[in-house]
Structure 1
Amino acid sequence: MTTRATRLLRMLDELRQRRGPVRGAQLAARLGVSLRTVYRDIDALRAQGAEIDGDAGVGYRMRPGFVMPPMMFPDEELEALVLGARWVASHADPELAAAANRALDRITGVLPERLRLQVETSGLFAPHWRPRDPEPWLPALRQAIRDGHAVRMRYRDAEGRDSERVVWPFAMAFLDDMRLLAAWCETRADFRHFRADRVLELESTGRPYPEQRHQLLRRWEQQCLGRRASREQ
């Protein structure tokens, strides 16, 4: 679900990119909200200092000369952002890849001229040379991690055996050749790792799992450290 802060940023982007006034109904359609929500959001943006001209029934436009506060980054931080966004754009599922490109465009749009040129002419790239079909379950798994919801999953292991189980997904590793899901498995009552490309079916239960994600992460990390220490003894 889109948060209000995200929606307000998207509305600013819509207004900034338009040369002329845009009607409230058009904004509502673009953002997938009601016209009343558009009017409330316009008032909220104005209260926060956005210089938006216009009224209901006439249309809205960003006042000429208004710019969002510039972002400042040291050179290496900016290179890290560019490279990270480009890696996601070329290695992630289509939804996350598109989000990475939008985020980079948003950052570039509010950078001072020197830093904007540095992004646009950056020589840092992250191409994916080996063609790979994106795992169709990645968006649903990422959503489950964000929401903290249990999912019902049919999975095929390395030996070709199928199983059905309910898991609590709380982390995902984007390795070069696979996407690895970390989850608590209700069937095994233990932490398990699953390859996203071996998921056969996935269904959200709509049920929040009983622990917070940070608590699961902490327990998982402690278990991994304990097992590593045992191997080293």
Structure 2
Amino acid sequence: MHRAERLFQLTTLLRNRRTVLTAKQMSEHLRVSERTIYRDIQSLSLSGVPIEGEAGVGYRLSHRYQLPPLMFDREEVEALLLGARMVSSWGDTDMAIHANQAIQKILSVLPDHLRHSDESLPLLVPNMEEVQKYYTAHSQPMREAIRLRQRVAIDYVRADEQHSSRTIEPLGMIFWGKVWTLVAWCHLRDDYRTFRLDRIQSIVVTDEKFDTSDSKSLKHFLHLMKEKYAQEPEATAPHEC
């Protein structure tokens, strides 16, 4: 990566964060040494880019700083288009609509030599609508409940055909290449549990609100799973309820 491109990516990285980034985090993202990051930060500051922070603490870009509109190269365009196609094919109907709208917005601002990238992209994601509807059942209301932090009552059928009714606090959804899995805090178990969306028989989004915390969130759940698999490489998937 050329230095000019690295400086641009570093500025973009800082621009997209509300909190500080450490030199270590930036070095891992850009795959360079921390010493290189410190030199780049100094160069950007000397050129007038208002970077706030200090070594050993972290850095961020001043909220007053504005960058011109971004432009993408061919590889970036292809990555964006492929990602949007995946969302369109394996997300719920609402996600698919917005993914297709995003594709059109991206294409509309590209230069002529990249504008037809979507037509010539040799990377396909099959769109099987009936299968998609089955595996994304309840996705849209569940995403809304996650966003608004609303408790949900569900009827669920496990793989062993055992039925149960639960009140849960939905924290996030994970896509495993075919199956969407809901991560939630289960009131009955008073612990994290996971639920496949296609096995949920019915849901009722309640008006009851819930709060997340350092010990109850999607981030905390993923941290626990990472620790578990580090200690037990052969560990099975998280508890399905």
Taking structure 1 as the reference length, the TM-score comes to: 0.63
Alignment of 1:45-84 (within 5 A): 71-84=70-83
Q: In the alignment, residue 122 of structure 2 is paired with which amino acid? A: G
* 1:214–1:171 Cα change, 3 Å: farther
Residues 177-219 of structure 1, C-alpha deviations (whole Å, 9 max, x = no match): 3211111111111111101011011011122212159961232
What percentage of residue pairs aligned between the two structures are identical? 33
Tell me the distance in 2 between the aligned counterparts of 1:82 and 1:152: 36
* 1:89–1:213 Cα change, 3 Å: farther
Residue 97 (structure 1) shift: 0.9
Classify the secondary structure of the residue corresponding to 1:132.
helix
Q: Is contact 1:71-1:111 (8 Å) kept? A: no
For the aligned residue pairs, the C-alpha RMSD in angstroms reads 2.5
The answer as to 2:112 corresponding to 1:108 is no
Aligned twin of 1:199: 200
Aligned twin of 2:120: 121
Note the residue ranges of structure 2 that are not aligned, 5 or more in a row. 1-67, 235-241
Q: Is contact 2:91-2:132 (8 Å) kept? A: no
Q: Is contact 1:71-1:110 (8 Å) kept? A: no
Residue 87 (structure 1) shift: 1.2
Residue 94 (structure 1) shift: 1.6
Aligned twin of 2:222: 221
Aligned twin of 1:183: 184
Higher mean alpha-carbon deviation, 79-88 vs 126-135, is at 126-135
* 1:116–1:97 Cα change, 3 Å: same
Q: Is contact 2:153-2:205 (8 Å) kept? A: yes
Q: Is contact 1:86-1:126 (8 Å) kept? A: yes
Aligned residues: 165
Tell me the distance in 1 between the aligned counterparts of 2:73 and 2:214: 32
Residues 136-156 of structure 1, C-alpha deviations (whole Å, 9 max, x = no match): 311111111222222111111
Note the residue ranges of structure 1 that are not aligned, 5 or more in a row. 1-68
Q: Is contact 2:107-2:115 (8 Å) kept? A: yes
Tell me the distance in 2 between the aligned counterparts of 1:214 and 1:198: 27
Q: In the alignment, residue 195 of structure 2 is paired with which amino acid? A: F
Tell me the distance in 1 between the aligned counterparts of 2:94 and 2:180: 15
Q: Is contact 2:89-2:125 (8 Å) kept? A: yes
Tell me the distance in 1 between the aligned counterparts of 2:115 and 2:88: 19
* 1:176–1:121 Cα change, 3 Å: same
Alignment of 1:12-23 (within 5 A): none
